[in-house]
Amino acid sequence: MQKLISYLITPVFFIAFGLCLLIFHPLQWLGFKLFGYSGLKPVVSKLNFCLMRCTNILGTTYRFTNNHDLPTNRPLIIVTNHQSMYDIPPLIWYMRKHHPKFVSKKELGKGIPSVSFNLVHGGSVLIDRNDGKSAIMEIGKLGSYIEKHNRSAVIFPEGTRSRDGHPKPFKPMGLKMLLKKAPSALIVPVSINNSWKLVRFGQFPMGLAAKVSFDVQQPIENKGDLDELIVQIESSVTNGVTSFK
Query: Please, are residues 237 and 192 in contact by the beta-carbon 8 Å criterion?
Result: no
pTM of the model: 0.94
Band of residue 11 on the pLDDT scale cut at 50, 70, 90: very high
Count of Cβ atoms closer than 10 Å to residue 58 Cβ? 21
Collapse the DSSP code of 127 into the 3-class scheme (helix H, G, I; strand E, B; otherwise coil) and give the result: strand
Where do the H-state alpha helices sit in 56-125?
Answer: 88-94, 115-121
Rounded average pLDDT over 228-233:
96
Band of residue 64 on the pLDDT scale cut at 50, 70, 90: very high
245: pLDDT strictly greater than 60 = no
